[in-house]
Amino acid sequence: DGGITQSPKYLFRKEGQNVTLSCEQNLNHDAMYWYRQDPGQGLRLIYYSQIVNDFQKGDIAEGYSVSREKKESFPLTVTSAQKNPTAFYLCASRASGIYNEQFFGPGTRLTVL
């Protein structure tokens, strides 16, 4: 899990509620990412940020929002507009270099009741 932490590990939400997933890294990486993982599917990119105060939509951004006020933090809010939010959410940060390797956090499992 390296220097990336995600909290909480498990999260339960009622329909119609917004929830915020936390992601913190102490690796001094500029770029951070949010992915969603569903059974039988590859990871899908929700949002990414390459620098503080800037972020871009990924492939499945609808129903999600993010902020990047600090280099170390990249929280993800799952809004009530997300139709099927139950999934495993992974945060990652990227090292600069020849490989641009991404390091993943331990994940948050969100279940909508």
Residues that bind another protein (CB under 8 A): 1, 4, 6, 40-45, 50, 88, 90, 92, 94, 98-107, 109
CB of 1 to another protein, least distance (A): 6
Beta strands 19-25 and 10-13 are unpaired
Residue 31 or residue 80: which is nearer to another protein going by CB? Answer: 31
Count of all residues that appear for the chain in the document: 113
Residue 40 CB, nearest distance to another protein (Å)?
A: 6
Task: Tell the smallest beta-carbon distance from residue 42 to another protein (Å).
Answer: 3
Q: What span, in angstroms and rounded, lies between the C-alpha atoms of 9 and 80?
A: 20
Shortest distance, CB of residue 88 to another protein, whole angstroms? 8
| Cβ-based nearer residue to another protein, 35 or 64 | 35
Which of 65/104 has CB closer to another protein?
Answer: 104
| Nearest to another protein of 4, 78 (CB atom) | 4
Phi first, then psi, for residue 22 (nearest 5°) are -95, 145
- Distance in angstroms (rounded) separating the CA atoms of residues 96 and 113: 40
Residue 44, both tokens: 């899908």
Residue 28 identity (one-letter amino acid): N
Q: Structure tokens of 8?
A: 């909480």
